[in-house]
Amino acid sequence: MASSMLSDWELWAVARRFIEEHGDMAAGHASLKAAALEAQGDTRGRDVFLAVAARINQLGSSGTRH
């Protein structure tokens, strides 16, 4: 599971970084990264980027700052 690899704080930091770099397309980029990692057989990496995409969506929908 993603939480065993990165802390919640780290996942939020990555989400914010993706938003800075990709703007409105950040969640899509994180999802594409997850798919690419899955294609390489990296299920842990996939889980991390799916968790990042979920946080990006949370930030986009609620405006909540973490």
Mean model confidence pLDDT for the chain: 89
Q: What pTM was computed for the model?
A: 0.84
Q: Which domain holds residue 42?
A: 2-62
Long-range (24+ apart) CB contacts under 8 A made by 9-18 are 9/66, 11/48, 11/51, 11/52, 11/55, 12/55, 12/66, 14/48, 14/52, 15/52, 15/55, 15/56, 15/59, 16/59, 18/52, 18/56
Q: What is the mean pLDDT of residues 10-25?
A: 96
Question: What's the pLDDT tens digit per position in 21-42?
Answer: 999 999 999 999 999 999 999 9
Q: How far is 23 from 43, CA to CA, in rounded Å?
A: 26
Tokens of 51: 């968790």
Total domains in the fold of the chain: 1
